[in-house]
Amino acid sequence: MTLTPAQRTIGEGIDRLVSIEITGRGVIGDLYQAARALQDAPLCLTAAARLLEKVHKGQVVILATGLPMYPWFAGEQDGPVGTATLARALLLAVDAGLYVRPLDDALSLPTTAAVLPFPLEWEEAAVRAQALLDTLRPSALVAIERTGANEHRQYHSSSGKRLTDYCGKIDTLFASAGEREILTIGVGDGGNEIGCAAIRDSVLQAVPHAARCACPCGGTTIPEVPTDLLIAAAISNWGAYGVEAGMALLLERPGILHGRDIDARVHDLCAAAGANNDGPGLLDVGADAVAAPLHGHIVDLLGRMVESGIDFGRLYREPRYPWF
Ligand SMILES: [Zn+2]
């Protein structure tokens, strides 16, 4: 991947913005540094570039999300929101749109997406993974705020509570994708998400409860299945937003990044569907205990940075001002 100076500068800025310490958990600084030490270029922009290389019109991308919140085992708004907005961005990037339809329709109709559950049982999940990979032949798999199985095949919340019975065994899909050389990306914010295997030692050091869970398995909270790339963000949705911004920057199409109106609407719908806003466990609109309008501010700032990156790139190519 060859980046222009303007792209690299804005790419670093995107990473800084989406990894700012806003939740007060005190772990994202260390997790980001560990993820960044694995590569020489900004995380979100790298993921964006790899997706644009791999994904072409008519091809399938599988996005995985869903982290049940203890003790309700209900969903949360961190994950689904970024999944929806990244799906939109990917479809725009390959000149498509986004209708949600049943899988068969989605495979035959243009500009569609399908929402699929995944089996809770391991054996059924393994069969389903092979079938999906055989039929869909995806170009890429992205996990956003998606927990995975630890060394004892147990799933955990960031505080170490067991979630195994409520999680589709999506690890089977990621493991098989790796064998088939399909691009895999994990987006996480707490060390218990798919993708964090790459920074296992740093998670063990930085995240309380990561080394020993609070369930009888006595293992770590870190999923074992590896991914090609990891994005560590303050809130996982923001990692997805950063990838959208990266694609918008690389293609010089600001509209690929969703705007704050869409952001608010997706949060609203997610909360109305019963997804949690973390913290005190309320169904307030927002993610990781951060209210929805603040997520809109992040989207606004990312949008401004993308425009700056595009403008500066053009200024160097075609100087517009006599004093420049
Ligand atoms: Zn455990």
The confidence band for 278, taking pLDDT boundaries of 50, 70 and 90, is: confident
Measured in Å, residue 49 CA sits from the centre of ligand 1 at 36
Which pLDDT score, from 0 to 100, does residue 165 have? Answer: 96
Predicted pLDDT at 307: 95
Q: How far is the CA of 159 from the centre of ligand 1 (A)?
A: 10
Contact (CB, 8 A) for 66 and 236: no
Cα(184) to centroid(ligand 1), Å: 25
Q: Chain-wide mean pLDDT for the chain?
A: 92
Count of Cβ atoms closer than 10 Å to residue 110 Cβ: 12
260-275 tens-digit pLDDT = 999 999 999 999 999 9
Q: Give 132-179 pLDDT, tens digit per residue.
A: 999 999 999 999 999 999 999 999 999 999 999 999 999 999 999 988
> 221 C-alpha to center of ligand 1: Å?
7
pLDDT at residue 96 greater than cutoff 60: no
Q: What percent of the chain has pLDDT over 70?
A: 98
Cβ burial of 36 (10 Å; 0-12, 13-18, 19+) is: buried
User: Which tokens is 8 given?
Assistant: 């690299």
More confident residue, 42 or 111: 42
Q: Per residue in 279-313, is it b (16+ CB within 10 Å) or e — as a string?
A: eeeeebbbbbbbebeebbebbebbbebbbebbebb
pLDDT of residue 101: 83
Q: What is the pTM of this model?
A: 0.93
Spatial distance between the Cα atoms of 10 and 157, rounded to a whole number of angstroms: 33
Measured in Å, residue 210 CA sits from the centre of ligand 1 at 10
Give the model's pLDDT for residue 12. Answer: 97
Q: Where are the alpha helices (DSSP H) in 77-219?
A: 80-93, 103-108, 122-136, 171-179, 200-206
Q: Helices H, strands E: what count in the chain? A: 11, 8
Mean pLDDT of 18-42: 95
For position 210, what pLDDT does the model report? 96
Predicted local distance difference test score (pLDDT) of residue 68: 85
Q: Which pLDDT does position 293 carry in this prediction?
A: 96
pLDDT at 232: 98
Please check the confidence at residue 302 and state whether its pLDDT lies above 70.
Answer: yes
Q: Are strands 183-188 and 286-287 parallel, antiparallel or unpaired?
A: unpaired
Residues 185-215: pLDDT tens digits?
Answer: 999 999 999 999 999 999 999 999 899 999 9
Of 179, 178, 233, 247, the residue nearest 1 (C-alpha)? 247
Q: Which residues contact 82 (CB under 8 A, 6 or more apart)?
A: 65, 144, 145, 187, 236, 237, 238, 239, 240, 241
Dist. CA 149 → ligand 1 center (Å): 10
pLDDT at 97: 56
Residue 36: the pLDDT is: 97
**Higher-pLDDT residue of 191, 104:** 191
Residue 161 Cα to ligand 1 midpoint, Å, equals 7
What is the whole-number distance in angstroms between the Cα of residue 192 and the centre of ligand 1? 11
| Domains contained in the chain, CATH given | 28-316 (3.90.1640.20)
C-alpha of residue 31 to centroid of ligand 1, in Å: 21
The predicted structure's pLDDT at residue 162: 96
The pLDDT assigned to 236 comes to 97
Q: Where are the alpha helices (DSSP H) in the chain?
A: 5-18, 28-36, 43-54, 80-93, 103-108, 122-136, 171-179, 200-206, 236-251, 260-272, 292-317
**What local confidence, expressed as pLDDT, does residue 224 receive?**
97
212 C-alpha to ligand 1 centroid (Å): 7
Whole-number Å distance, alpha carbon 148 to ligand 1 midpoint, is 12
Give whole-number Cα distances, 123 to 111, 127, 130, 182, 296, in Å: 32, 6, 11, 22, 41
279 has pLDDT over 80:
no
Q: How far apart are CA 96 and CA 101, in angstroms?
A: 15
Instruction: Give dist(CA 275, CA 140) in Å, integer.
Output: 26
The identity of residue 50, as a single letter, is R
Please give the residue that has the higher pLDDT: either 68 or 54: 54
Ligand 1 centroid to Cα of residue 79, in Å, is 22
**Rounded-to-integer distance, Cα 293 and Cα 298, Å:** 9
Q: Do 182 and 188 touch, CB atoms closer than 8 A?
A: no
Task: Calculate how far, in angstroms, residue 219's C-alpha sits from the geometric centre of ligand 1.
Answer: 5
User: Measured in angstroms, how far is the CA atom of residue 200 from the centroid of ligand 1?
Assistant: 16
Bridge partner list, 156? 162
Residue 64: its H or E element = strand 61-66
How far is C-alpha 261 from the chain's CA centre?
A: 20
pLDDT tens per residue, range 70-94: 888 888 899 999 999 999 999 888 7
